[in-house]
Chains A and B, each alone.
Chain A
Amino acid sequence: MKINLKVWRQKNENTAGKMVDYSVNEVSPDMSILEMVDVLNDDLIRKGDDPIAFDHDCREGICGMCSMVVDGRPHGPQHGATTCQLYMRNYKDGDTIYLEPFRAHAFPVVKDLVVNRGAFDRIIAAGGFISVSTGQAQDANNLTVEKAVAERAMDVAACIGCGACVAACPNGSAMLFVSAKVSHLNQLPQGKPEASRRAINMVKQMDAEGFGRCSNVGACEAECPKEISITNIARLNREYLKAVFTSTEE
């Protein structure tokens, strides 16, 4: 089939970008959308044009590297999937697809569809961990964790740090990402001693990075490829308020 593309092209952070039209012939339904862009890039390079820059690595929905807004939706129309997991059998001959970068104040564009998500790492560095240095652990089975709690922790630990939640949010808020990490660690007995510090420090860093406020729009949950629930944001808000009122630290 033939697919038409409208792609955001931007040389670097400091230049203006614009949408450019392309088309790809002989698209197979078994291709992923990224493989279709590979085919287009091959063509562009042979013609002496600049290929489209986009982030990707695992191409199986787990590394969180691929981004892209496909037809106005971060990671495209398919629920619970990343861009790299979007297959062309979902499209038909003659369709037009829009490809744009994740747009958010805290994610500056590097080139074309590539953005800088370094702010997420800095939020984790501020508190998204359990302070246990190598060698300090007790035997793993000395600590029991209720199966249901472990499962719930796993549900949120599944976050791939892609940033689609931020790109989906009209306020550019990172609350879903932050709440997923806080819920993962604060629910587990191992994470309890630092629960308050963690919530406070991560939220503080999030604000410092220029992410917007959460106003309960719910777009983040709808676009999250790992189906992280928005109820985690409510949980984070509770944890945060509790922490602020009870904290004995600065």
Chain B
Amino acid sequence: MKLDSKIPEGHMSQKWENYKEHARLVNPANKRKLDIIVIGTGLAGASAAATLAELGYKVKAFCFQDSPRRAHSIAAQGGINSAKNYKNDGDSVYRLFYDTVKGGDFRSREANVHRLAEVSLNIIDQCTAQGVPFAREYGGLLDNRSFGGAQVSRTFYARGQTGQQLLLGAYQALERQIGLGNVKMYNRHEMLDIVTIDGKARGIIAKDLISGKLERHFGHAVLLCSGGYGNVFFLSTNAMGSNVTAAWRAYKRGAYFGNPCYTQIHPTCIPVSGEYQSKLTLMSESLRNDGRVWVPKKKEDCGKHPNEIKEEDRDYYLERKYPSFGNLCPRDIASRAAKEVCDEGRGVSASGRAVYLDFADAINRLGLDVVKARYGELFPMYQNITGHDPLKQPMMIYPAVHYTMGGLWVDYELMTSVPGLYALGEANFSDHGANRLGASALMQGLADGYFVIPYTIGNYLAGEIFTKAIPTDHPAFEEAEKQVRDRLNKLMNAKGDTPVDEYHKRLGKIMWEKCGMARHAEGLKEARKEIQELRTEYWKNVRVPGDINEFNPELDKAMRVADFMELGELMVMDALNRNESCGGHFRVEYQDNGEAKRNDEEYSYVAAWEFKGDNTEPELHKETLNFEEVQLAVRSYK
């Protein structure tokens, strides 16, 4: 199949308008006859499900948590971008578009990003109308803060709980539609396969996690809003349940996987403390507004108490290396710089894998109360986890896996390469190129769900109004369910001696060491082999307790880890294929004195991988990125 990104005609700023003017519509009476399945109720899924139901479609929504309100989006802290220019500091749709393309190291599709910047305006309006309690100024108007990778203040926030408040807004809109009978909600359900009939997505196989029963659901279209796959590394800032299964099953049913190797490593997380560690906690990037990052100049000082290290013996390395952005340089750059100073032996903490984030200057300048008010929950949260008070001594931080820019390949309409199958939010590859700017994931999730899919899905469903609901005893449903059942049985029957988590940790270690912050060809080749071996061992030797037909979280986890094992290999292959450094993908062979060296001649494309069978190499398709508006340049934050 040829990749067609379906970018509309016209000037960049006119494409979305043109699209909307010409997209096909579905009349209200027909909408009632069309079923849409939405997997996931994070910002992308909840906003999509609510909006599509408001429009009159019949929606079924699924999530694996016990309530749609608990999707991982709830944990986002810092804020959401929008080109409102309420601060009058020179922001505009164009500038947000430009910053995002540049921040993504020129590896995203311009037309999608421009649309994102355009609808960012509507998002803030919608959320405010829903009652999201954004921070306000004394005049009663909305407040903004600045965030990494931008020189304007365009980030809206609700204390340190922006994701929570935005998700509750979307969740409440969703619950309203559930109450009206327009959405049927399936909590504690996990989608385990996609059903395709005559090449189109027509439904799913889901497991009721309480009873263990497999269910079949028909839909005229299926939306995957299942989030990112950072947990392939085991340790990440993602919630424990975040997984790739929905996206991976789609891949195995023909949806291309875009740029799987693009991973964002967030610079400000609480460092690892021991083997038992189950997740890493993010300290919001907004802390870099007032916190200054440093390590001792001399290795000998690393063991000292930070407050005893004199000013002239500190290396504020971000300010030194990137004077114009300083502590606010983008994430990939800040993370790599931290790794570098720790590699030089100047890292702090017992493990030597941490740097300081210091608020002393901010407290002197602004006063304790202002600093405390600004970062709400974050300081007590840090103190609770580590036992140290960041108002008295600098925080210790280290980079951790945080977000995956890669995901299912989608066209301008957010449709995957399988007709009728869409991917929204972090689950798609679409808008962030090789690196995402802070406060842009929330924006993208809500843009996709509230303002993009409601238009683009009509263009497809207008052609489906004569398709009657397909009974779920159709052979395609039978076959998909059987495959799922076989996988479940195989895991249960392995009856080995090693718990799922141990395999997950081992996979995570391979990924972190060989496909993490710095990658090179040799390591990647080794990683591929190691993952293959680990996978073989897993299926033979994993121990899953309990039964299939009962509430069995270990079995659910085992299914997720099985998919991570396959995804890991594809990530490594993608990283090996991309012989350049860009954004979050840093190949040590391709650098200029530590700065990433892109190769626009050869790699200015989206790598879209097509599954060809379990024992066959996947096929690489290339979507060439054409830049009409933005000049390709070396991404400099100096």
List residues of chain A with CB under 8 Å of any chain B CB.
12, 28-32, 34-36, 38-39, 41-42, 44-46, 48-51, 53, 55-65, 81, 85, 87, 89, 110-111, 114, 116-118, 120-121, 124-126, 128-141, 143-147, 150-151, 153-154, 157-158, 160-161, 184-185, 188, 190-191
Check if A31 sits within 8 Å of B276, measured CB to CB. yes
Check if B133 sits within 8 Å of A184, measured CB to CB. yes
Bound-state CA distance A163–B138 (Å) is 34
Nearest CB on B from A115, distance (A)? 9
In the complex, which of the residues B50, B138, B239 has the most CB atoms of chain A within 10 Å of its own CB atom? B239
Residues in B whose Cβ lies below 8 Å from that of A111: 550-551
Nearest CB on B from A156, distance (A)? 9
Check if B140 sits within 8 Å of A145, measured CB to CB. yes
Interface check B554, CB cutoff 8 A: yes
Bound-state CA distance A59–B231 (Å) is 14
Interface check B128, CB cutoff 8 A: yes
Check if B158 sits within 8 Å of A154, measured CB to CB. yes
Interface check B501, CB cutoff 8 A: yes
Bound-state CA distance A157–B130 (Å) is 12
Interface check B66, CB cutoff 8 A: yes
Asked if A153 meets B131 with Cβ closer than 8 Å, knowing A12-B551, A63-B70, the reply is yes
Check if B69 sits within 8 Å of A134, measured CB to CB. no
Check if B276 sits within 8 Å of A28, measured CB to CB. yes
Q: Which residue of the partner chain, among B67, B137, B276, B277, contacts A161 with CB atoms under 8 Å?
A: B67
Interface check B164, CB cutoff 8 A: yes
Bound-state CA distance A50–B176 (Å) is 39
**Which 9 pairs from chain A and chain B are nearest by CB?**
A144-B140, A125-B179, A137-B129, A129-B172, A137-B125, A140-B128, A125-B175, A154-B133, A134-B51
Residues in A whose Cβ lies below 8 Å from that of B137: 147
Nearest CB on A from B379, distance (A)? 13
Nearest CB on B from A130, distance (A)? 5
Q: Which residue of the partner chain, among A29, A121, A134, A153, contacts B450 with CB atoms under 8 Å?
A: A134
Task: Supply 14 A–B pairs (Cβ within 8 Å), ascending by A.
Answer: A57-B239, A62-B75, A63-B74, A64-B70, A110-B551, A118-B67, A124-B172, A134-B47, A134-B173, A138-B125, A141-B141, A154-B133, A157-B133, A190-B130
Check if A51 sits within 8 Å of B554, measured CB to CB. yes
Q: Which of B26-34, B296-304, B315-323, B380-388 contacts A (4 or more CB under 8 A)?
A: B380-388
Check if B136 sits within 8 Å of A57, measured CB to CB. no
Within 8 A of A (CB), among B112-135: 122, 124-131, 133-135
List residues of chain B with CB under 8 Å of any chain A CB.
47, 50-51, 54, 65-70, 72, 74-75, 84, 86, 122, 124-131, 133-142, 158-159, 161, 164-165, 168, 171-173, 175-176, 178-179, 185, 187, 210, 239-241, 273-274, 276-279, 281, 381, 384-387, 450-451, 454, 497-499, 501-502, 543, 545-546, 550-551, 553-554
Check if A190 sits within 8 Å of B131, measured CB to CB. yes
Check if B142 sits within 8 Å of A141, measured CB to CB. yes
Residues in B whose Cβ lies below 8 Å from that of A143: 128
Closest chain B residue, CB of each to CB of A156: B133
Nearest CB on A from B460, distance (A)? 19
Binding site secondary structure of chain A:
loop
Residues in A whose Cβ lies below 8 Å from that of B546: 50
Residues in B whose Cβ lies below 8 Å from that of A135: 122, 126, 451
Closest chain B residue, CB of each to CB of A124: B175
Bound-state CA distance A158–B162 (Å) is 10
Bound-state CA distance A137–B125 (Å) is 6
Bound-state CA distance A29–B273 (Å) is 10
Check if A35 sits within 8 Å of B278, measured CB to CB. yes
Bound-state CA distance A124–B187 (Å) is 15
Closest chain B residue, CB of each to CB of A185: B131
Closest chain A residue, CB of each to CB of B51: A134
Nearest CB on B from A8, distance (A)? 15
Bound-state CA distance A26–B85 (Å) is 54
Residues in A whose Cβ lies below 8 Å from that of B164: 62, 158, 160
Closest chain A residue, CB of each to CB of B242: A57
Check if A116 sits within 8 Å of B172, measured CB to CB. no
Check if B175 sits within 8 Å of A191, measured CB to CB. no
Check if B172 sits within 8 Å of A130, measured CB to CB. yes
Bound-state CA distance A158–B589 (Å) is 47
Closest chain B residue, CB of each to CB of A130: B131
Check if B131 sits within 8 Å of A188, measured CB to CB. yes
Residues in B whose Cβ lies below 8 Å from that of A153: 131, 133
Bound-state CA distance A34–B124 (Å) is 37
Nearest CB on B from A95, distance (A)? 18
Check if A140 sits within 8 Å of B142, measured CB to CB. yes
Residues in A whose Cβ lies below 8 Å from that of B125: 137-140
Check if A157 sits within 8 Å of B172, measured CB to CB. no
Residues in B whose Cβ lies below 8 Å from that of A55: 66
Bound-state CA distance A85–B17 (Å) is 47
Check if A145 sits within 8 Å of B136, measured CB to CB. yes
Residues in B whose Cβ lies below 8 Å from that of A39: 276
Q: Which residue of the partner chain, among B175, B276, B384, B502, contacts A35 with CB atoms under 8 Å?
A: B276
Bound-state CA distance A126–B178 (Å) is 9
Nearest CB on B from A46, distance (A)? 7
Check if B126 sits within 8 Å of A63, measured CB to CB. no
Q: Which residue of the partner chain, among A133, A150, A161, A188, contacts B135 with CB atoms under 8 Å?
A: A150
Bound-state CA distance A81–B136 (Å) is 26
Nearest CB on A from B380, distance (A)? 8
Residues in B whose Cβ lies below 8 Å from that of A145: 136, 140
Asked if A150 meets B545 with Cβ closer than 8 Å, knowing A85-B384, A114-B551, A134-B454, the reply is no
Check if A57 sits within 8 Å of B240, measured CB to CB. yes
Q: Which residue of the partner chain, among A41, A58, A146, contacts B72 with CB atoms under 8 Å?
A: A58
Bound-state CA distance A50–B554 (Å) is 10
Bound-state CA distance A65–B158 (Å) is 21
Check if B54 sits within 8 Å of A134, measured CB to CB. yes
